[in-house]
Structure 1
């Protein structure tokens, strides 16, 4: 298993290294931000969660660039990394809730190729009464080149009833902690 180079979040005294996760055959290097004990979140306010993914040969299509369907997998890996790092996986499991994607609007902007490292910024952009939206941007690491951007709408599904839960009370407060000013 390969390892990522340790890094610090800007303005942070966090000394934790990046970690390497192997999920769905995708190498993920996700930041582990400092714990924010006041909110229970583990990222700095107003900062998107960042996940790095190395493009491998098996991500490519016949045209030798990342296949469009792979970007959806990359975005999903980045959302899971965000949920794990924020502590939300355990939180939602305790409430018997599941995040269910109901809409993805993705824009493909630039072709990524083998060997490049992509950086995915993930952050909440909207919270409604029954759904929320996460905005994600994929860039080639170390550049301003946007490869793709997407808005992902999800509902919190009550796993007992199979219906979307209202986003109110403590659940709304938890999700609002993710919003950027």
Structure 2
């Protein structure tokens, strides 16, 4: 299926292509639920790097984002050999310390949404492990796009 024909929940996603490999498969012959969490982490890091905040810069700033809460809805199984696209969007922050991301995983062959997730992160001072306010560079880069805000009013919670 053409990527332009895929239906994403929100506009302007950051996308990462994935391929289900043998190590992703569990005893039930589908992708293990823990792998979905890894995929969310992978696309979040890819998106952060694309925004100008790769891991190296976070280490220089002594700031990072730690997962506080994860909600995943598993809708359909991903299977051996599936080609997938995972999308992410930054959602409005609910505090000066936290940020949320929305995720959607699609199978590219038929456009089926396999899962949706939302992850809340807290900003940490890496050297102490303590929560802290976002540095200016985070505030400049982790910006919610207006089109995403408009789409959220229709979409609602995960």
- TM-score over 0.5 for the pair: yes
- Which residue among 75, 91, 97 is the counterpart of 1:130? 97
Query: Number of residues paired by the alignment?
Result: 136
Contact kept, 8 Å, 1:129 with 1:168, in 2: the verdict is no
How high is the TM-score relative to the length of structure 1?
A: 0.68
Compare relative contact order (CA 8 Å, sep 6+) and give the higher one, 1 or 2. Answer: 2
1:92 paired with 2:68, answer no
CA distance in 1 between counterparts of 2:92 and 2:108 reads 26
| Deviation, structure 1 residue 51 | 0.4
Per-residue CA distance 1:5-62 (angstroms, 9 max, x = gap): xxxx97xxxxxxxxxxxxxxxxxxxxxxxxxxxxxxxxxxx62110011001221112
Instruction: Name the CA distance, whole Å, in 2 between partners of 1:168 and 1:87.
Output: 14
Structure 2 gap segments, 5+ residues each: 5-10, 147-158
User: Where in structure 1 are there 5+ consecutive unaligned residues?
Assistant: 1-8, 11-45
The within-5 A match list for 1:29-178 is 47-89=12-54, 90-127=56-93, 128-167=95-134, 169-176=136-143
More helix by share: 2
Look up the SS of the partner of 2:142 in the other structure: helix
Q: CA RMSD in A?
A: 2.0
| TM-score, length of structure 2 as denominator length | 0.77
